[in-house]
């Protein structure tokens, strides 16, 4: 009898436990609290969407120290030159804006400021504003992106100075299909007909033009080749309807192995420029070129060399030549220290001997803060 009572008690407790367990599993979960529809309060942090329209802002400092003598290019012994303020943002689903302000010790200027339309029919890419002209490869690069602390002689002598050719106008580019894995792009540009040291517009209808055709191809998993062909023209105001016409060829070869690409890489680049300038004393046909190479010695060390030669645009009988060697150290991706030893031979400049040789040492220190968008590759 006692065993029967004990068995009944255990069975009753077991059924009760199972009943409570099933009820707990079938009970619906509590309702989620309603979303907070009140506006965010100042200082509350807000969501990521609140920063969507805020532009990316960056600053790049560019310090240059120079030792040695040079009566032609008399650079100061220490100068914080062309520190760049970048302001970049998406405007709407159809375009983005890029502004680059150049701050020097003497003032501020707009190096570039343009709107890019990225959703045009036919795969076209249009830019409107002030921009570096797509003539060659080096002219498109900002000063802090160059593999040297200075500009090559063809840029200085034939494209208007160290800054090169910068224009205000319209640019239109389109990809051109080629067989294989080959990138091809053609660019047509129209600018206001003036650029310091290069073009001078006497009337509103005076315009400058540029066309560029680029071919890029991966030769292997570790090498690629970039070729470009350029043609530009604009008024020079030396006489009525006088023009300056520019022709150029650029080539860049890069090697970066997949396995040791962090510690070893190399690049070889060259450019040829020809200037045909109408003048009252006859047309001056001047030519200039440079060849340079850079080799990565270790993860943060690079060594390079450059050979250069260029006639004077207004007097092709005079020619400047130069040779330079560079050593670059990257403490991190946000800073750079570079030294250059250069020797240049100048010909026919006022205030200097007819043939003048200058030996100089340049020390460049660059640093970046903020989110700076990538420049053209």
Q: Where are the domains of the chain?
A: 115-370
Decide if 295 contacts 302 (C-beta within 8 A). Answer: yes
Residue 240 contacts by C-beta under 8 Å, 6 or more apart in sequence? none
Quickly state the pLDDT bin for 248 (edges 50, 70, 90): very high
Quickly state the pLDDT bin for 52 (edges 50, 70, 90): low
pLDDT given at position 337: 98
pLDDT given at position 23: 38
Q: Which of 75-79, 83-87, 362-366 has the highest mean pLDDT?
A: 362-366
pLDDT given at position 37: 41
Pick the closest to residue 161 from 137, 191, 195, 197 (CA basis): 197
Do β-strands 207-218 and 223-235 pair in parallel, antiparallel, or remain unpaired?
A: antiparallel
Quickly state the pLDDT bin for 138 (edges 50, 70, 90): very high
- Mean per-residue pLDDT, 157-181: 94
| Percent of residues in the chain assigned helix, strand, coil, to nearest 5 | 10, 50, 35
Q: Is the pLDDT of residue 200 over 60?
A: yes
Q: Is the pLDDT of residue 347 over 70?
A: yes
CATH topology classification for 115-370: Porin (2.40.160)
Percent of the chain with pLDDT over 70: 85
Pick the closest to residue 103 from 59, 151, 169 (CA basis): 59
Quickly state the pLDDT bin for 259 (edges 50, 70, 90): confident
Q: Is the pLDDT of residue 6 over 90?
A: no
- Mean per-residue pLDDT, 169-175: 96
pLDDT given at position 81: 85
Quickly state the pLDDT bin for 34 (edges 50, 70, 90): very low
pLDDT given at position 53: 67
pLDDT given at position 10: 37
- Mean per-residue pLDDT, 144-148: 93
What is the residue-averaged pLDDT of the chain? 86
């Amino acid at each position: 009898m006692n065993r029967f009572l004990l068995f009944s008690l255990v069975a009753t407790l077991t059924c009760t436990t199972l009943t409570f367990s099933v009820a707990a599993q079938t009970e619906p979960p509590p309702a989620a609290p309603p979303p907070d529809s009140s506006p965010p309060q100042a200082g509350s942090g807000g969501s990521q969407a609140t920063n969507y329209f805020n532009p990316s802002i960056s600053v790049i400092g560019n310090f240059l120290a120079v030792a040695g003598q040079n009566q032609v290019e008399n650079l100061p012994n220490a100068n914080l030159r062309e520190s760049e303020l970048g302001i970049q943002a998406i405007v709407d689903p159809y375009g983005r804006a890029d502004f680059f302000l150049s701050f020097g010790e003497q003032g501020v200027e707009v190096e570039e400021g343009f709107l890019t339309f990225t959703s045009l029919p036919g795969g076209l890419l249009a830019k409107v504003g002030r921009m570096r002209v797509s003539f060659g490869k080096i002219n498109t690069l900002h000063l802090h992106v160059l593999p040297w602390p200075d500009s090559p002689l063809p840029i200085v002598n034939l494209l208007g100075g160290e800054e090169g050719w910068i224009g205000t106008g319209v640019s239109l580019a389109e990809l051109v299909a080629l067989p294989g894995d080959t990138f091809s792009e053609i660019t047509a540009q129209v600018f206001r007909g003036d650029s310091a040291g290069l073009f001078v517009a006497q009337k509103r209808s005076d315009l400058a033009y540029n066309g560029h055709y680029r071919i890029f191809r991966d030769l292997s998993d570790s090498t690629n080749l970039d070729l470009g062909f350029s043609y530009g023209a604009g008024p020079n105001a030396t006489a009525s309807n006088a023009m300056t016409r520019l022709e150029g060829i650029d080539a860049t070869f890069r090697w970066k192995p997949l396995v040791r690409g962090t510690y070893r890489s190399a690049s070889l680049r060259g450019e040829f420029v020809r200037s045909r300038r109408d003048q009252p004393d006859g047309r001056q046909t001047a030519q200039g070129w440079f060849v340079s190479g850079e080799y990565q010695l270790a993860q943060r060390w690079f060594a390079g060399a450059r050979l250069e030669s260029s006639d004077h645009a207004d007097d092709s009988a005079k020619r400047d030549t130069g040779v330079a060697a560079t050593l670059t150290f990257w403490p991190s991706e946000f800073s750079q220290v570079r030294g250059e030893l250069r020797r240049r031979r100048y010909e026919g400049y006022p205030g200097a001997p007819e043939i003048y040789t200058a030996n100089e040492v340049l020390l460049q220190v660059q640093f970046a803060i903020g989110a700076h968008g990538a420049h053209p590759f």
